[in-house]
Amino acid sequence: MNGKNNIAIGFLVMGFFMFYGFLLIYLRDFAPDKEAWVSSYSIGKHFESRLAHVHGNLFAFLNIMIGYLLLRFQAQLSNGKTISILALTGLLMPIGILSEVYFGLPPALVLIGAIAMTTSVIWLGISFFRMKTPTF
């Protein structure tokens, strides 16, 4: 079912990145070496971790919205399955940022995810422009 998985996975990913935000708060305010963490606010792993947190929640929210729209307008939208898969693939971006921070992997997942999410959003926008008569 186009959209259902986007909503379910979107909420799960959002929950994960919300918990990750709690970890970032711990590192900033309560960890034994918090001064070192705070001093690197805009550089290195600290900055990349914040990027992953923000983009993870944004892309999760986009999946929830895209999933809802695909379910609501499935009879009037073509290519819903492809848009759904691209939006889910977009979640590779924040996961890729975390894999860079914690495992030193190259940014391939970040690029794949960014391109996939951007494509899904644009494709869905074009699909809505082409829609003849939306039924609300």
- The whole-angstrom separation of Cα 119 and Cα 123 is 6
Taking only the tens place, the pLDDT of each residue in 97-125 is: 999 999 999 999 999 999 999 999 999 99
First-to-last C-alpha distance (Å) of the chain: 20
- Mean pLDDT across 41-66: 91
What is the value of pTM for the model shown? 0.90
Question: Confidence class of residue 134 from pLDDT cuts 50, 70 and 90?
Answer: low
Instruction: Annotate 39-86 with DSSP letters as a single string.
Output: HTTTSHHHHHHHHHHHHHHHHHHHHHHHHHHHHHTTTT-SSHHHHHHH
- Counting residues of the chain whose pLDDT is more than 70, the rounded percentage is 97
Q: Where are the domains of the chain?
A: 4-130
- Mean pLDDT across 33-49: 80
